[in-house]
Amino acid sequence: MTQLTLALDTLWRRAPHFARLAWLARFDRALLGLLAIFAAIALLAPWQLGPSFSFTLASLLQIAPYLLVSVALAAYLKAAGADGLIARVFAGSPFVMIGAASLFGALSPFCSCGVIPLVAALLTAGVPLAPVMAFWLSSPIMAPDMFVLTAGAIGMGFAVAKTAAAVGLGLLGGLSTHALLRMGAFPEPLRPALQAACSCSTTAPLRNAPTAHWRVWDDAGRRAAFLRASGDTAWFLARWLALAFVLESLMIAWLPAETVAAWLGQDSVWAIPLAVLVGVPAYLNGYAAVPVVAGLLQTGMAPGAALAFMTAGGVTSIPAAVAVWALVRRAVFAWYLLLALVGSALAGLLYQAVLSW
């Protein structure tokens, strides 16, 4: 018994991090939310339990490569001491970085949930919030394959307008965020759970960034820092993304995109504002929405409302908002939603005005 006690005590001392995670799991809001949702499904709609579990698992496996690469990159930069160097690079020319991030985001193949791990890696490395916000907003709207699909199903003009909306929304978000940062807003965008893995702040001086030690595995302390940062970030993102995917599975099953879009099929002065208000919280899978919106346009839906709806639904939705809420502080989250709402409305209004002119 004494030997067993000593063995357990040694195991506890050697793995305090995992023991702490196991203890926190009992009180974790994301895990409690997952358990509550699955329990409610089992009681109220047991036939949905299997599809929701399968969808969540498949979505996590699909996003796992992006998650692992982003987590490993952020942890490596932290352990190597290179986060300050990267932040200094992005601090050189904010306007160029915002423009590049907006353009790159419009051409990247990330969805609103898939972009979360990469955003977490960038913010953890100390990249200023402005270019990250530009990429964050523009990325889910358009991708190369989405451009081809949209052009074929709806038309080249609509595809070009959607791409312009992606770049424009990124520029709007990046430039306005940069202006607020200069006034002292958002000093620490990440929540404390992820901020603990970051040694620098977006407002900290970046000129005295330390020299990076790239051979992380040569130093025991840096190896430990890499493993600790990897575990913290991966655990944090995985459980909140799992909760987001469960919600997404329920919205697909009970609130299909074609049902929501049909509510917006009337051409009126309220079409664009209503499309934004419905599109921001509603789940809208870009690929599934293309034929639905194409059919609604043929039945009289205003093109500006269609663009506003697809833009708002692509930038943020309830599943994506859950992941964003877990990642950043409340002020940044509110600013992110406001940018999505205003930017989507402006995109729809400008597109409708151009077509009318």
pLDDT of residue 80: 72
Amino acid at 127: V
pLDDT of residue 63: 72
| Tens digits of residue pLDDT in 141-179 | 887 767 887 888 788 999 899 999 999 999 999 999 999
- Sorted by sequence, the CB contacts under 8 Å of residue 324 that are 6+ apart come out as 116, 316, 333, 336
Classify burial at 253, counting beta carbons within 10 Å of its beta carbon; exposed 0-12, middle 13-18, buried 19 or more: middle
pLDDT of residue 253: 79
Contact 325/333 with Cβ under 8 angstroms? yes
pLDDT of residue 173: 93
pLDDT of residue 8: 46
- For the chain, first and last CA: distance in Å? 85
Classify burial at 228, counting beta carbons within 10 Å of its beta carbon; exposed 0-12, middle 13-18, buried 19 or more: middle
Strand-pair partners of 328: 190
CA distance 66 to 247: 20
Look at residues 330, 341, 318, 328 and name the one whose alpha carbon lies nearest to residue 113.
318
CA distance 175 to 150: 28
CA distance 311 to 306: 8
Number of other residues whose CB lies within 10 A of the CB of residue 254: 10
- The dihedrals phi and psi of 328, each to the nearest 5 degrees, come to -115, 170
pLDDT of residue 175: 95
pLDDT of residue 163: 92
| Tens digits of residue pLDDT in 25-43 | 445 667 787 888 888 988 9
CA distance 233 to 236: 5
In the predicted model, residues of the chain with pLDDT beneath 70 are 1-29, 70, 74, 77-78, 81-92, 109-114, 145, 193-213, 255-269, 280-289, 291-292, 295, 299-300, 317-320
CA distance 99 to 171: 6
For helices 129-138 and 116-124, what crossing angle results, to 10°? 170
